[in-house]
Amino acid sequence: MMFLVRALYVLCGLALTGGSAVAQPIALKQVGSFRVPADTVEIRGNHVFVAGGHTLTILDLSDPSLPKKAAEYAFPEQIWSFRLVGPYAYVAANFYGLGILDVSNPAAPKLRASFKTPGQAKGVALVGTTAFVADHMSGIDVIDLASLDKPMLRGSFFVDGYARDVAASSRFAFAVDAPTGLYALDPARSGTDEALGQVQSAAAPQMIEVIEQGGRVIACLVGGGALQLYDVTDPAKPVHLTSFKTPSGRPARIAVDGTRGYVADGREGVQIVDLSNPSSPVLVGSIKTSLPARDVAVGGGLVVAAVGMGEGNEEVVVLR
């Protein structure tokens, strides 16, 4: 998902000048599915990476109507989230800490490195060769991965509540905690404990994605209520743009592709939100999934959702 979040985010000129874009309705339909423990998903090329429980499963989507298991890798602890960057999957695996899987061959993932954080690793983001790990106990741990043979803790940023997730722009990391909100973290200040910027969010967020394009950086916060959008172009002074209520009122996660946000919206399925003007999002499409949508990923013309109740009935559905 991060891979795609970092993909082109084309803010239209009207949005940048405060005008409004014309949102085009979008329709999706299900073209395939695969039963697998599924909490979070990412897409890369023809493969879907699915984390469920302790296991990261890789599905081959060469034929979207017939997903096939390519490989799986089991961690000793629950996977809370992961990101695909370069040839690696960076996995936040609870008390195990950060696991780094080489997934350059999706049929044969290999553990390349790991680093035990003090508590439960919940989320991870990369700025260059520096990993930021949201740890329930210690806040945001900063781990130097210049040498994967010897990951080193460079410091930790304090967050006021429990760290939930972290995302990155090209220069900064952005973290969310419950209950406080949004933090902007400067890798150059990793020895100080203190965030560069901080702002109280309207509701306790669970997840964050960052969109970066054309000199503007937008943070999307999800969980605990509405989708919240912040302008973090100046990380020292995050500015709340808007809170956007999705049909369920309880969005779970978001993926962004260009100017579109795809929201896993629980029982309401997947919502598509036009973010051309991040101060004024517009709902442009939706699809009701058979089970509540837990996460969503987008790429290669496909949308993939992890759906289920968390009771062993999860599956990945492929939408187009």
Site map 248..287 versus other proteins, x via CB under 8 A: ----------------------------------------
Output 113 or 204, the one with its CB closest to other proteins: 204
Tell me which of 156, 169, 190, 276 binds other proteins, using CB under 8 A: 156
Any idea what the Cα angle at residue 122 is, between residues 144 and 208, rounded to 5°?
90
- Give the footprint of other proteins on residues 163-192 (CB under 8 A): 178-180
Tell me which of 49, 75, 162, 244 binds other proteins, using CB under 8 A: 162
Cβ–Cβ under 8 Å, residues 172 and 184: yes
DSSP of 18-57 = T----PPP----EEEEEE---SEEEEETTEEEEEETTEEE
In terms of phi and psi (left: phi > 0; alpha: psi -120 to 50; beta: otherwise), the region of 14 is: alpha
Strand stretches in 25-178, DSSP E: 30-35, 40-44, 47-52, 55-60, 68-74, 81-85, 88-92, 98-102, 110-115, 121-127, 130-135, 139-144, 152-157, 162-168, 173-178
Output 64 or 118, the one with its CB closest to other proteins: 118
Cβ 118 to other proteins shortest distance, Å = 6
- Give the footprint of other proteins on residues 133-152 (CB under 8 A): 136-139
Tell me which of 37, 119, 235, 251 binds other proteins, using CB under 8 A: 119
Largest CA distance in the chain: 50
Q: State how far the Cα of 95 lies from the Cα of 110, in Å rounded to an integer.
A: 20
Output 153 or 199, the one with its CB closest to other proteins: 153
Cβ–Cβ under 8 Å, residues 305 and 271: no
How many residues bind other proteins, per CB under 8 A? 23
DSSP conformational letter for 112: E
Q: State how far the Cα of 92 lies from the Cα of 123, in Å rounded to an integer.
A: 5
Output 120 or 277, the one with its CB closest to other proteins: 120
Output 118 or 258, the one with its CB closest to other proteins: 118
Q: Which of 84, 24, 64 is nearest to 255 (CA)?
A: 84
Cβ 65 to other proteins shortest distance, Å = 33
- Give the footprint of other proteins on residues 42-101 (CB under 8 A): 78, 95
Residue 32 interacting with other proteins (CB under 8 A): no
- For 76, other C-beta atoms within 10 Å of its C-beta total 10
Tell me which of 6, 44, 83, 122 binds other proteins, using CB under 8 A: 122
Cβ 45 to other proteins shortest distance, Å = 33
Residues binding other proteins (CB under 8 A): 78, 95, 118-120, 122, 136-139, 153, 155-156, 158, 160-162, 178-180, 193, 204, 310
